[in-house]
């Protein structure tokens, strides 16, 4: 529970039989020809997960997932226990009509039927989520750039209903939008081009790609995306989630095996389930676990008949948005080549955000795009638009054009959105004649390093890779989720806080997304506010010794002011 899965090595098994003709050693343990040997010494590892297989990486891969402190874990469980008791109390009062029930209920006439609503499924929603609901779904009334305007809301019945007061909080620093390169703007090159496209094509497409919804803008965009990624051909779709959930069923079916990472996004999980293939899950970013699954799959084949699998598809993401970790792509590619599997890489968060040229995680590691069979990504995050793409071989993409559900049934991308992507992509590639793209990439990388370093020095527990622009800050306790969101908004900073069920029950967090549009002053303001709130709420759990702020942490509570 408190240890991270990425840093734990697989337990060595004692094999009584030999698969490769070698005699077992004294304790029955056979050395297998695994590509990635398990760690021999079983010392508890330092949490900085560096250099397991140094030969395939050309730069340090530093990820850290610090363990939950035991006291904090115990107190978090205690907090959840107390809130559960009060949840039962409130449910009892609602059931016996001592207080008004705001939740959907069946009518009296239907009491004898099979119940429509299972109470316990919504227990968490009714009794915890509702109490801190004002931290989510905040209405924004401006473009979600580096600063945004948030509409103020009040609630008179403890978050069951909201009313707008009419006031607007201006210039709230936006630390929650996926705006990695700052292309979410309402003026400038991209916006003007999008306006022109709207004037020429209108806004609606009124058809699917198969029928009259295929515009020349889509063709232009697809050629550009293929050139950007370095693949032969690509196809774009109107919605990022639908790209995954509608295309994985096209690629894999019955008799295929899907190996998917533990922490994959809901769209990948949904697509895998819809496909009807067998799904096996490997531990997050753990190459030994993946290798074991591959070996077992090839040795044993399909479950009952032991026939070989039709294909084995590995589903991974470039950056995992809840952890901030980057996939170990060189190792995955080495495994894929050795065991003849296919790789599906979902670069929703990493395209445009990683790599010297902004071409994603493949560029970040300096690998060949041809090694990844299917490169998928979305335009929502770094390009300031909406939609998704899939890139790969020409045969693959031609197959998808005819067989994908998205192509046949879903409306295609709107023209101004396609134009926004075209302009922003050309800007990143440097083809529009300015150095704006390169400047933004450098700014993002600098901002990421600075922000992460400062937060770690302050003493917070930060998960993830040092180069990922997604920064999760651990909160743990349920009351602190609500308190953090509210305190940050009071200081004019908009943040996203996440709890169960998007994360494990005790590991709730606040997730910051660093953007190239943030200037250093904005980041400093935000960091000072985060430090203040961290002292107020006692969030500085980290036990690593950082040189600058260790002395001040002990006495900082005397200076902090109360709520």
- Residues near another protein, by CB under 8 A: 75, 78-80, 82-83, 86, 89, 128, 131-132, 158, 477-480, 482-483, 536-538, 557-558, 560-563
Quick one: 83 or 189, whose CB is closer to another protein?
83
Rounded least distance, CB 79 to another protein, Å: 3
- The Cα 192–Cα 294 span in angstroms is 50
Rounded least distance, CB 74 to another protein, Å: 11
Rounded least distance, CB 86 to another protein, Å: 6
Rounded least distance, CB 122 to another protein, Å: 17
Q: Phi/psi of residue 166, each to 5°?
A: 100, -20
DSSP classification of residue 304: T
Angle between helices 550-559 and 520-537 (to 10 degrees): 70
Quick one: 468 or 556, whose CB is closer to another protein?
556
- Note whether 527 and 462 are within 8 A (CB): no
Rounded least distance, CB 80 to another protein, Å: 7
Quick one: 15 or 479, whose CB is closer to another protein?
479
Quick one: 416 or 485, whose CB is closer to another protein?
485
Residue 375 burial by Cβ neighbours in a 10 Å radius (0-12, 13-18, 19+): buried
Q: Six-digit token pair at 12?
A: 């060595």
Distance of CA 155 to the CA centre of its chain: 31
- The Cα 484–Cα 501 span in angstroms is 18
Quick one: 50 or 89, whose CB is closer to another protein?
89
- The Cα 435–Cα 300 span in angstroms is 54
Rounded least distance, CB 324 to another protein, Å: 25
**Sign of the CA dihedral 14, 20, 21, 23?**
negative
Quick one: 95 or 431, whose CB is closer to another protein?
95
Question: CA angle at residue 450 from 68 to 148, to 5 degrees?
Answer: 95
Rounded least distance, CB 455 to another protein, Å: 20
Percentages of the chain per state (helix, strand, coil), in multiples of 5 = 40, 15, 45
Rounded least distance, CB 135 to another protein, Å: 11
DSSP track, 382-441: SSSS--EEEEE-HHHHHHHHHH-HHHHHSB---HHHHHHHHHHHHHHHTTTSSSHHHHHH
Rounded least distance, CB 460 to another protein, Å: 16
Quick one: 235 or 489, whose CB is closer to another protein?
489
Quick one: 26 or 561, whose CB is closer to another protein?
561
- Note whether 318 and 361 are within 8 A (CB): yes
Quick one: 273 or 491, whose CB is closer to another protein?
491
């Amino acid at each position: 529970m408190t240890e991270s899965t990425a840093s734990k090595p697989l337990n060595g098994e004692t094999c009584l039989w030999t698969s490769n003709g070698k005699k077992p050693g004294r304790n029955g343990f056979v050395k297998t020809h695994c590509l990635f040997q398990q760690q021999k010494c079983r010392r508890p590892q330092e949490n900085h997960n560096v250099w397991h297989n140094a030969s395939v990486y050309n730069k340090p891969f530093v990820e850290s997932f610090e363990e939950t402190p035991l006291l904090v874990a115990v107190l978090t469980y205690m907090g959840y226990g107390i809130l559960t008791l009060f949840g039962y109390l409130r449910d009892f009062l609602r059931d016996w009509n001592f207080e008004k029930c705001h939740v959907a209920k069946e009518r009296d006439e239907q009491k004898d039927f099979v119940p429509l609503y299972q109470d316990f499924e919504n227990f968490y929603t009714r009794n915890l989520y509702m109490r801190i609901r004002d931290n989510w779904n905040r209405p924004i009334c401006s473009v979600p750039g580096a600063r945004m305007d948030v509409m103020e809301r009040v609630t008179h019945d403890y978050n069951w209903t909201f009313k707008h007061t009419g006031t607007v909080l201006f210039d709230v620093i936006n630390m929650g939008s996926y705006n990695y390169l700052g292309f979410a703007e309402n003026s400038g090159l991209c916006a003007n081009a999008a306006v022109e496209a709207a004037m020429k094509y209108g806004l609606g497409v009124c058809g699917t790609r198969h029928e009259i919804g295929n515009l020349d803008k889509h063709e232009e965009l697809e050629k550009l995306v293929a050139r950007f990624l370095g693949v032969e051909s690509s196809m774009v779709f109107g919605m990022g989630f639908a790209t995954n959930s509608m295309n994985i069923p096209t690629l894999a079916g019955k008799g295929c095996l899907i190996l998917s990472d533990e922490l994959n996004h809901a769209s990948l999980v949904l697509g895998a389930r819809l496909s009807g293939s067998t799904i096996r899950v490997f531990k997050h970013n753990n190459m030994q676990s993946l290798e074991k699954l591959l070996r077992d799959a090839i040795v044993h084949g399909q479950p009952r008949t032991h026939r070989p699998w039709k294909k084995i598809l590995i589903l991974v993401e470039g950056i995992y948005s809840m952890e901030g970790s980057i996939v170990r792509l060189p190792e995955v590619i080495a495994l894929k080549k050795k065991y003849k599997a296919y790789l599906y890489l979902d670069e929703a968060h990493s395209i445009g955000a990683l790599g010297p040229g902004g071409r994603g995680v493949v560029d970040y590691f300096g690998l060949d795009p041809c090694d990844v069979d299917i490169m998928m990504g979305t335009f929502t995050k770094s390009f300031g638009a909406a939609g998704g793409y899939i890139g790969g071989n020409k045969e693959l993409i031609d197959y998808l054009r005819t067989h994908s559900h998205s192509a046949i049934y879903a409306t295609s991308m709107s023209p101004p959105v396609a134009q926004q992507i075209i302009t922003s992509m050309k800007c990143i590639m440097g083809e529009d004649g300015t150095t704006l793209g390169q400047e933004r990439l450098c700014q993002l990388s600098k901002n990421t390093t600075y922000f992460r370093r400062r937060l770690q020095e302050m003493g917070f527990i930060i998960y993830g890779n040092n180069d990922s622009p997604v920064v999760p800050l651990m909160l743990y306790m349920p009351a602190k989720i609500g308190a953090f969101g509210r305190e940050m908004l009071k200081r004019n900073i908009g943040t996203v806080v996440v709890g169960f069920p998007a994360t494990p029950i005790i590991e709730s967090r606040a997730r910051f997304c660093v953007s190239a549009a943030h200037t250093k002053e904005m980041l400093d303001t935000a960091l000072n506010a985060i430090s203040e709130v961290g002292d107020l709420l006692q969030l500085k759990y980290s036990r690593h010794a950082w040189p600058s702020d260790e002395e001040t942490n002990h006495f900082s509570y005397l200076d902090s002011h109360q709520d």
